[in-house]
Structure 1
Amino acid sequence: MSQASQRTSDGPQIMAILNLTPDSFSDGGQYRDPEQAVRHALTMLAEGADILDLGGESTRPGSKSVTPQEQERRVLPVIRRLREQIPESVPMSIDTTSARVARAALDAGATWINDTSAGLDDPQMLALAAERGVPIVLMHRQGIPETMQQAPSYKDVVAEVCHHLAARAQAALAAGVEADRILLDPGIGFGKLAAHNLALLAALDRIVALGFQVLLGTSRKGFMRAICGGVEPTQLMPATCATTTLGVMSGVRVFRVHDVAGNRQAADIAWAVRNAG
């Protein structure tokens, strides 16, 4: 099913986005039916995804929070159906800032946590990751999704993001999460202007140098639309592939994307070039 077995375990990993929401910025409402969502997930695995990332709450700019109960209603049936059809070795990630939702998802068959608040929205999240021994993605975010793009401000965005991520990694370690199960995400587009996003992409090696695995999520994001002439988000696969290539060459390990096939190719070619060098 997945092409992961054909690649080395230390190579770049593709995390495929499965938004089970009505209002995500580029694919909201497309996969609200559980059977349709499962079919799309299986397609992404066949295209070369290594990890599936399922979320029941949009975190696009301007979005409002969704109750844990509603998140669970959206994601748990899909996680259960998928776990019946895919090998245990294929990771499934739950994209949530709620420890309650994360726990229910892990019970249903998820094996990763992806927390855009880096454990700050729910103080139980880091302890849950430690208790279950699962990888957790800790992302930088300035503000909350509803208001984060109104007036983002930094004196030195790279230094501030690195400082925040290092602090959250230390908090996870203190909670008992193993170092090799911590992934850091600079949070492209989360409380950042285009210039901030570009500065972070130019300095990915500084985030990698913090000593933890790094995840990059640029897929179809608005800062690239402006550079690419205002095209629709669904037309930004080539732009996303460019950032995937940059990330591989900088040492990023995981890439969270909508368009799996193109980014799989970009990651694999960049990895081959990096090794040849």
Structure 2
Amino acid sequence: MLRFGKYTFDIATHGLVMGILNRTTDSFFDNGAYFEFSKFLERAEELVSSGAEILDVGGVKAGAGPAISTQEELDRVVPAVSALVERFDVAVSIDTWNSIVLDEALSVGGVCGNDISGFGDPKYLEVAARHDCGVIATHIRLAPRVPDPDPVYHDLYGQVCEFLTLKVNDAISSGVDRQSIVIDAGLDLGKTTAHSLELLARTGELIDDVGFPLLLSASNKDFIGGLLGYDVSARGPGSISSAIIAYLEGARIFRVHDVKGTRRALEISEAIADSVSPSRQVL
């Protein structure tokens, strides 16, 4: 079982689809198409009707770009989270590495902090524990928004596994419920195409070794384009293929742009997996 605030999910065999909702002007995928509030809400309605069980709201993109102040991130994210909670009965996570933004967004109904920095803000886990929310611990080599064009690891898998184990232990020590912790290998975050592919292929090992459910955030990322030279508009099939591979390896949360396509692919994968063998259980 996985618990994000008041929401509890049975993920033994079921894959959860997390719809990406960017309130940014410079997202690598939508380039600000949903920054206007009315467009943002229309997109949320589309994602929920397509089968999203979690909505992930972010106000600052992960990659390099113009500086965004804490107040600007608050202005982008907090009203958005409040509006989603009022309109839809789905779990809302906050894609932020800022504990101030997390605190405010949880106060208006968010139930999870999705932190790609690996809890770099020293107050992040304290805030999460106080709100009894979920957290997603992500591996990153440097820090969000810091270019990392030529990352080098002496032991990619070992370093990622060690990092994530440390972060989940930090979360538990801070008072976060074990059933509310998720890990993310951080594909493309300080990783080459080869690095991301290795981690995707070793999804099952990572789940077993760290002992927590895994979120796959692969949707339309550069490693998919890097395989065959596809630009971002042509990466949809690769994104769904990555989700299926990760599901069969034991991943159970999928952060995606294409909710409808991913949901349908997972339904087929779930049915096949259930018919031929017992599904992988995560602790």
Pairwise CA distance, 1:147: 3.2
TM-score by length of 2: 0.90
CA offsets, 1:97-117, max 9 Å, x none?
A: 011000111112211110111
Secondary structure in 2 matching 1:171:
helix
Pairwise CA distance, 1:9: 5.3
Whole-angstrom distance in 1 between the partners of 2:251 and 2:85:
27
| Residue of structure 2 equivalent to 1:81 | 83
| Residue of structure 1 equivalent to 2:238 | 239
Does the CA contact (< 8 Å) of 2:139 and 2:186 recur in 1?
yes
CA offsets, 1:22-58, max 9 Å, x none?
A: 1111112111111110110111011111100000000
| Residue of structure 1 equivalent to 2:46 | 43
Letter in 2 for 1:67: S
Q: Aligned ranges for residues 168-247 of structure 1 at < 5 Å? A: 168-209=167-208, 210-228=210-228, 230-247=229-246
- The verdict on how the C-alpha distance between 1:85 and 1:220 changes in structure 2, with shifts beyond 3 A counting, is same
Does the CA contact (< 8 Å) of 2:193 and 2:227 recur in 1?
no
Whole-angstrom distance in 2 between the partners of 1:36 and 1:49:
17
Does the CA contact (< 8 Å) of 2:55 and 2:92 recur in 1?
yes
- Percent of pairs with identical residues: 33
Whole-angstrom distance in 1 between the partners of 2:109 and 2:232:
31
Pairwise CA distance, 1:184: 0.3
Does the CA contact (< 8 Å) of 1:162 and 1:206 recur in 2?
no
| Residue of structure 2 equivalent to 1:32 | 35
| Residue of structure 2 equivalent to 1:135 | 134
Whole-angstrom distance in 2 between the partners of 1:262 and 1:200:
23
User: How large is the RMSD of aligned CA atoms in angstroms?
Assistant: 1.5
Q: Does 1:153 align with 2:152?
A: yes
Does the CA contact (< 8 Å) of 2:115 and 2:135 recur in 1?
yes
- The verdict on how the C-alpha distance between 1:64 and 1:161 changes in structure 2, with shifts beyond 3 A counting, is farther
Whole-angstrom distance in 1 between the partners of 2:256 and 2:265:
12
Does the CA contact (< 8 Å) of 1:12 and 1:267 recur in 2?
yes
Does the CA contact (< 8 Å) of 1:76 and 1:105 recur in 2?
yes
Structure 2: where are the runs of 5+ without partners?
1-8, 278-283
Secondary structure in 2 matching 1:243:
helix
Does the CA contact (< 8 Å) of 2:224 and 2:230 recur in 1?
no
Does the CA contact (< 8 Å) of 1:20 and 1:29 recur in 2?
yes
Does the CA contact (< 8 Å) of 2:116 and 2:144 recur in 1?
no
| Residue of structure 2 equivalent to 1:71 | 73
Whole-angstrom distance in 1 between the partners of 2:85 and 2:49:
16
Whole-angstrom distance in 1 between the partners of 2:31 and 2:59:
10
Whole-angstrom distance in 2 between the partners of 1:40 and 1:147:
29
CA offsets, 1:117-156, max 9 Å, x none?
A: 1212x11111111111111001000112333432211112
Q: Does 1:125 align with 2:124?
A: yes
Does the CA contact (< 8 Å) of 1:97 and 1:117 recur in 2?
yes
Does the CA contact (< 8 Å) of 1:149 and 1:193 recur in 2?
no
Q: Does 1:97 align with 2:100?
A: no
Letter in 1 for 2:22: N
Does the CA contact (< 8 Å) of 2:15 and 2:254 recur in 1?
yes
Secondary structure in 1 matching 2:214:
strand
Secondary structure in 1 matching 2:57:
strand
